[in-house]
């Protein structure tokens, strides 16, 4: 394992925020993993800590696996926000994942984006790990329409691999910027913000190990998936029609029948029923709104149509 600081942001009273890179193995093929772009998402950090421990064991020949390429981890890419538990850079609330490819002569977050982008742009594949923000996500890999990463998403062995519409790629995100430059990028997501779910971190880590095996960067025994992986091309979105208190009756990963109830929106003061929410199609609950209060238009449930 080679640990290095690849970028620093000096703080006004001394000290600095550092961008750390852990590198394992050698060779020209590189799998990069970026987590913690949003500082309130800890499942990626947990998954990367597990992956780093596993790769150290691989390097010291304590496992039947062998590295034949390189894995680079940028686990705490927005370190200051991870410490304070905020989604965005704490000083000016900038979303780091809207600033790629960054700017070396710019402000703190523009420079941070630049350091990350320069470090991952030579990768064969870059994986960005996230969690839900207002949603809790069933573990899933996301590729994008018109980009050739659908098979890599399936190779993670996570329960769902969603081919997202091209319009979902946000300007300035790491995934859009890399793919526009011809570098393959996948998103992995699972769980929710402000929580580290050990089981979720384990599933995401196993997904990255399967990906490294699929890419030929790691050699060794296959890891069978826990759930049969399914490619999702169609997603049904259920929105709140009224502001109110959201009382869901399903959980992520539930298999739904047509017209099945998903929950209700009620008046938080009187309890009056405002909206019965049900699904139009059968499928799996892939994302579920977790905050109790919703406003008109809030995304309540995403159903992966199967
Ligand atoms: Zn995120």
135 CA distance to ligand 1 middle (Å):
11
Residues 7 and 120 in one domain: yes
Please report, for the domain that includes residue 265, its CATH number: 2.40.50.100
35 CA distance to ligand 1 middle (Å):
8
CA angle 276–237–98, rounded 5-degree value: 135
94 CA distance to ligand 1 middle (Å):
13
Query: Residue 275: which domain range?
Result: 234-305
Residue 60: inside a domain: yes
State yes or no: pLDDT of 215 exceeds 90: yes
Residue 225: inside a domain: no
Residues 242 and 203 in one domain: no
d(CA 71, CA 195): 26
86 CA distance to ligand 1 middle (Å):
11
Write down which residue in 219, 252, 282 finishes a domain.
Answer: 219
Residues 215 and 252 in one domain: no
Residues 48 and 133 in one domain: yes
Q: How far is CA 179 from CA 145, 157, 168, 183, 230, in A?
A: 11, 22, 13, 5, 23
Work out the mean pLDDT of the chain and round it to a whole number. 96
Residue 288: inside a domain: yes
CB 188 within 8 A of CB 140: yes
37 CA distance to ligand 1 middle (Å):
6
Please report, for the domain that includes residue 67, its CATH number: 3.40.630.10
Banded model confidence at residue 226, pLDDT cuts 50, 70, 90: confident
Write down which residue in 196, 219, 242 finishes a domain.
Answer: 219
Residue 170: inside a domain: yes
162 CA distance to ligand 1 middle (Å):
16
64 CA distance to ligand 1 middle (Å):
33
Residue 33: inside a domain: yes
87 CA distance to ligand 1 middle (Å):
8
Residues 112 and 239 in one domain: no
237 CA distance to ligand 1 middle (Å):
20
Residues 140 and 281 in one domain: no
Residues 204 and 252 in one domain: no
Report pLDDT for 76: 98
Residue 224: inside a domain: no
Residues 189 and 67 in one domain: yes
270 CA distance to ligand 1 middle (Å):
35
Residues 176 and 284 in one domain: no
Q: How far is CA 279 from CA 140, 184, 235, 255, 290, in A?
A: 20, 34, 11, 11, 18
Q: Which residue, among 225, 198, 197, has the nearest Cα to 209 in the 3D structure?
A: 225
Report pLDDT for 115: 98
Residues 134 and 106 in one domain: yes
At residue 109, φ and ψ (nearest 5 deg) are: -70, -30
Read off the pLDDT of residues 134-184 as tens digits, 9 standing for 90 and up.
999 999 999 999 888 999 999 999 999 999 998 999 999 999 999 999 999
Residue 92: inside a domain: yes
Residues 122 and 212 in one domain: yes
Report pLDDT for 240: 98
Report percent pLDDT > 90 for the chain.
96
State yes or no: pLDDT of 17 exceeds 90: yes
Write down which residue in 219, 248, 279 finishes a domain.
Answer: 219
176 CA distance to ligand 1 middle (Å):
14
Residues 160 and 265 in one domain: no
Report pLDDT for 53: 98
And the tokens for 299? Answer: 């995304």
Report pLDDT for 239: 98
Number of domains in the chain: 2
Report percent pLDDT > 70 for the chain.
100
257 CA distance to ligand 1 middle (Å):
30
User: Can you give the pTM of this predicted structure?
Assistant: 0.96
Read off the pLDDT of residues 74-131 as tens digits, 9 standing for 90 and up.
999 999 999 999 999 999 999 999 999 999 999 999 999 999 999 999 999 999 999 9
Residue 229: inside a domain: no
And the tokens for 237? Answer: 């979105």
269 CA distance to ligand 1 middle (Å):
33
41 CA distance to ligand 1 middle (Å):
6
């Amino acid at each position: 394992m080679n640990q290095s600081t690849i970028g620093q942001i000096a703080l006004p009273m001394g000290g600095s925020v550092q961008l750390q890179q852990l590198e394992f193995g050698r060779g020209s093929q590189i799998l990069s993993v970026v987590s913690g772009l949003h500082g309130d998402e800890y499942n990626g950090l947990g998954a990367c800590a597990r992956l780093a421990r596993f790769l150290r064991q691989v390097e010291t020949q304590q496992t039947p696996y062998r590295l034949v390429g390189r894995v680079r981890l940028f686990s705490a890419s927005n370190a200051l926000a991870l410490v304070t538990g905020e989604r965005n850079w704490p000083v000016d609330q900038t979303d780091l994942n809207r600033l790629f490819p960054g700017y070396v002569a710019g402000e703190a977050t523009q420079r941070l984006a630049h350091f990350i982008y320069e470090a991952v742009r030579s990768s064969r594949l870059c994986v960005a790990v996230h969690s839900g923000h207002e949603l809790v996500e069933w573990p899933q890999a996301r590729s994008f329409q018109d980009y050739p990463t659908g098979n890599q998403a399936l190779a993670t062995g996570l329960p769902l691999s969603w081919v997202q519409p091209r319009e979902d790629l946000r300007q300035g995100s790491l995934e859009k910027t890399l793919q526009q430059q011809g570098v393959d990028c996948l998103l992995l997501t699972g769980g929710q913000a402000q929580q580290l779910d050990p089981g979720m971190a384990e599933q995401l880590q196993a997904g990255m190990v399967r990906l490294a095996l699929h890419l030929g960067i790691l050699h060794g025994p296959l890891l069978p998936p826990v759930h049969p992986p399914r490619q999702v091309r169609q997603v049904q979105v259920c929105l709140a029609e009224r502001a109110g208190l959201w009382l869901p009756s399903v959980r992520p990963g539930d298999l739904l029948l047509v017209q099945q109830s998903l929950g209700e929106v009620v008046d938080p003061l009187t309890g009056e029923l405002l909206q019965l929410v049900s699904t139009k199609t059968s499928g799996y609950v892939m994302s579920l709104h977790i905050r109790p209060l919703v406003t008109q238009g809030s995304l309540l449930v995403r159903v992966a149509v199967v």
